[in-house]
Chains A and B, each alone.
Chain A
Amino acid sequence: MKSRTMHLFLWMLILLALSACQMPVAAPTAATPVGEEAPAADLLSIVQQRGKLIVSTDPAYPPQSELVAGVAPPADTKCTGDERPANQFSGFDIDVAVAIAEKLGVEACFVTPDWTLITAGGWAGRWDLSIGSMTITPERMRNLYFTQPYYTTPAAFFVHQDNTTFAQPSDLSGRRIGVCTGCTYESYLDGTLSIPGETIEFVVSDAQIVGYDTDVPALEDLALGDGVRLDAVLTAQPTGLTYIENGGPLKQLGDPVYFEYLAGAIDKSAPHDTTAFREAVTKAIQDLHAEGVLLALSEQYYGVDLTTAAAEFDLDRLEQ
C-alpha cells in the first residue's frame, strides 16, 4: 500500500515534468483552434450578447466614484452576483462608464475590486473595462491596454495673488517652487518627466525644488505671502483652483504646462480577443468627446473643462 502510493506519486511527478517540457511545443498548435473560433471568442460580441458591460470601480474616491446608499436596484437590471447596477454609485467615472455602455448598446454593471487588483491586470474576464480615472503610465502599459483618454489632470503653476513680476511659467526659472515629493510635478521640475504619448516642454529650468508630503501644505506655504517661503507651486489645476475657491490668496500662472491623461483600461491578458472591443470603447469615448457629453460632465463635477486635451490625444502614439 505504502510503496504503491509512493510509486503513484513519483509517476505523477514524472508526468508533470514531461508535460511541462512539452507545453511550449504543444502550446502554439493547441492555441490555434481557439484563435480560429474568433467570432465566439471576441470580447465585443460577448459583451453585446450578454447585454452588459462589466466595469471595475472603487467607490472610495469622490467625486469620481462614491457609494449611494439605500437605493433599490432597478427591477430589470442584468447585473448579477458581485455586479452592482449603476444606481448604487454616483460620480464622474460612473457617469462616463454608463455613457460608454449606452454607446455599446448595453447596460453598465460594476464590480469593486481593490485598486491594486485592477492595475495588476490578469482580470481573467471577471470584468471587461476599468473606468477609474487611471493615469496612463509606462508601468501600467505592461499589463493593460489604454483607451482614448476621457479627461486629464492638467498641471499648472500657482503664484501668490499679490505677485506682479511673473507673467508666464518660464519666468519661474531658478525660483523656489513647492511640489509634492515623488509626484510627477517634481519630475517635471527636474526635467525627467516622461508621459506616454506626450511631448513635454520643460519651460522652467534650474528651479529650487521644495518638497512636501502632499500638495496642500505647499499651497499653504505659498499663501503666507509672495516669496515668503515659496515663489510658486506646481500642482494639479483642480487642486489649486479648489484652494483658491476656498479663499486661498493665489492665482494660476498661465496655461497648464502638461497634462496627465486619464483613460479606460483593458486587460492585456484577457481570455478573449479584445481588438474590436478596444476600438469600440475608444470610438465611444471619441464620440462622447465630439458630442460634448464629457465636457458637460467635467463642468458638472469639476467646474472646469478637463476634457478637451483628452479629446485631442493621439492614441496611436502609445504604440500598444
Chain B
Amino acid sequence: MTARAGEEPASRRHYDLTRKQDQEAFAAHLLAQERRRRRLQRIRVFAVWIALFAILWFVFSFLNIDFGYTVNNAEFVLLGIGVTLGVSLVSITIASLIALFGALGRLSTNSFFHGLSTFYVSIFRGTPLLVQIFIIYLGLPQIGQQIAARGYPWLGALFILTAIQSGVLALSLNYGAYMTEIFRAGIQSVSQGQWQAAAALGMSRWQTLRLIVLPQAIKIIIPAVGNQFIAMQKDSSLVSVMGVWEITYRANRFARRDSKYMEMFLLAAAIYWVLTIVSEWLLARLEGRMARSDRR
C-alpha cells in the first residue's frame, strides 16, 4: 500500500484507509471527482449541440430562406400553439383512461373483455392515424344520419362531430391502443406476490388494483405516457386536414399566400421542437419526483 502510494505524484494527497478520518476524506474526494467528471461531460455535450446547431443553421443558409419573413409573420402561426396543446392534452387524458380499461381487459380472464381489448388494440394499432381521422370525420356522421332517420335524432346528433371533436376522438383511440400495452406492462411489472399478499389480507381484486398495484405501476407508466404525449404533440398536426387551425395548418396555409413554404414550415418545426424540449424537461422533473420513494 505504502509502496504504491509512493509511486504517485507528490501533489496528490495520500490516504491511509485504515484511519476513519481518511476514509471519509477519500470518499468525499471520489464524489467530488465524479461531480467534476459529470459537469465536464455536460459541458462537452452542450458544446456538441451548439456545434450541430450551427451546422444545421449553416445548411439552411444555403436554402435562400427569408428569415425576416418568418419573424414578421410568426404571430399567426404561434396562435396555433393553444390548439395543438389543448388537443394533445385532452386526447392524452382520454387515451390514458381508455388504456387503463384496455389493459384491464387485456389482463382479464373473461373472454369477452379480453377479446374486446385485443380487437380494439389490433384495429387501432393496425391502421394509420390519418386514415382513422378521415373515417371518423366522414363515416361517423353517416351512421348518425341513419340513426336519426330511424327515429332517434338525439342519438344520431351525438355521431356528428366537429373537426376538433373528430381529431380528439381519433387521437384518443389511436394512442389509447398503443398505451394499452404500456399500461399492461406497467401493471404486470408489479410482482404477483403483491396480489397474493393483498388477497391474504382479505382485499378484493378491485381494491388490490386500486390501492396496491396501480400506485406502484404508475411509476412505470408515467414516463412512457409522457413519451406518448411528446409524440402526440406532433401527430396532432394530422388534424389539420379537417381544417383545425393548429400550428401546421396555420403555417401551411399562410405559406401559400406568398409562396414562402420553407420560411413557415421551419417556423412550425421550431415551435414543435421547443414544445418538445419543454415537455421533456417537465417530464424529467416529474420522473425525478416519482423516483424519490425508490431512493434508500
Known A82-B164, A122-B138, A126-B162: A31·B149 in contact at CB below 8 Å: yes
Q: Which residue of chain B is the closest to A124 with respect to CB atoms?
A: B141
Instruction: Tell whether, in the assembled complex, residue B138 and residue A120 are in contact, meaning their CB atoms are under 8 Å apart.
Output: yes
**Which residues of chain B in 150-167 are interfacial with respect to chain A, using CB atoms and an 8 Å cutoff?**
150-151, 160, 162-164
Instruction: Tell whether, in the assembled complex, residue B110 and residue A2 are in contact, meaning their CB atoms are under 8 Å apart.
Output: yes
Stretch from B94-102, B196-204, B237-245, B277-285 contacting the other chain: B237-245
Q: Is A6 part of the contact surface with B, judged by Cβ < 8 Å?
A: yes
Stretch from B34-42, B47-55, B187-195, B248-256 contacting the other chain: B248-256
What's the nearest-Cβ distance from chain A to residue B60, in Å?
24
Produce 1/0 per residue, A31-46, CB < 8 A to B. 1011000000000000
Q: In the complex, A117→B166 CA distance in Å?
A: 13
Produce 1/0 per residue, B74-113, CB < 8 A to A. 0110000000000000000000000000000000011111
Instruction: Tell whether, in the assembled complex, residue A269 and residue B243 are in contact, meaning their CB atoms are under 8 Å apart.
Output: no
Q: Which residue of chain A is the closest to B77 with respect to CB atoms?
A: A69
Stretch from A106-114, A195-203, A298-306 contacting the other chain: A106-114
Instruction: Tell whether, in the assembled complex, residue A82 and residue B163 are in contact, meaning their CB atoms are under 8 Å apart.
Output: yes
* Majority SS at the chain B contact face: helix
Instruction: Tell whether, in the assembled complex, residue A5 and residue B112 are in contact, meaning their CB atoms are under 8 Å apart.
Output: yes
Q: Which residue of chain B is the closest to A6 with respect to CB atoms?
A: B112
What's the nearest-Cβ distance from chain A to residue B107, in Å?
14
Q: Pick the contact of A67 from B163, B164, B253 — CB < 8 Å?
A: B253
What's the nearest-Cβ distance from chain A to residue B150, in Å?
5
Q: Pick the contact of B141 from A26, A30, A67, A122 — CB < 8 Å?
A: A122
**Chain A residues positioned under 8 Å from B145 (CB to CB):** 124, 269, 271
Instruction: Tell whether, in the assembled complex, residue A26 and residue B150 are in contact, meaning their CB atoms are under 8 Å apart.
Output: yes
Q: Which residue of chain A is the closest to B259 with respect to CB atoms?
A: A62
What total of chain A residues lie within 8 Å of the partner, measured CB to CB? 38
Q: In the complex, A58→B75 CA distance in Å?
A: 21
**Which residues of chain B in 95-146 are interfacial with respect to chain A, using CB atoms and an 8 Å cutoff?**
109-113, 134, 137-139, 141-142, 144-145
**Chain A residues positioned under 8 Å from B271 (CB to CB):** none
Instruction: Tell whether, in the assembled complex, residue A117 and residue B256 are in contact, meaning their CB atoms are under 8 Å apart.
Output: no
Q: Tell which of A6, A60, A111 has the most Cβ of chain B within 10 Å.
A: A60
Q: Is A70 part of the contact surface with B, judged by Cβ < 8 Å?
A: yes
**Chain B residues positioned under 8 Å from A123 (CB to CB):** 141
Instruction: Tell whether, in the assembled complex, residue B256 and residue A112 are in contact, meaning their CB atoms are under 8 Å apart.
Output: no
**Chain A residues positioned under 8 Å from B148 (CB to CB):** 34, 271
Instruction: Tell whether, in the assembled complex, residue B160 and residue A67 are in contact, meaning their CB atoms are under 8 Å apart.
Output: no
Q: Is A81 part of the contact surface with B, judged by Cβ < 8 Å?
A: yes
Instruction: Tell whether, in the assembled complex, residue A27 and residue B150 are in contact, meaning their CB atoms are under 8 Å apart.
Output: yes
Show the binding face of B for A, using Cβ within 8 Å. 73, 75-76, 109-113, 134, 137-139, 141-142, 144-145, 148-151, 160, 162-164, 241-245, 249, 252-254, 256-257
16 sample A-B contacts, Cβ–Cβ < 8 Å, listed by A number: A2-B111, A58-B243, A59-B256, A61-B256, A62-B256, A62-B257, A66-B253, A82-B243, A82-B244, A113-B242, A114-B241, A117-B134, A117-B241, A122-B139, A124-B141, A271-B145
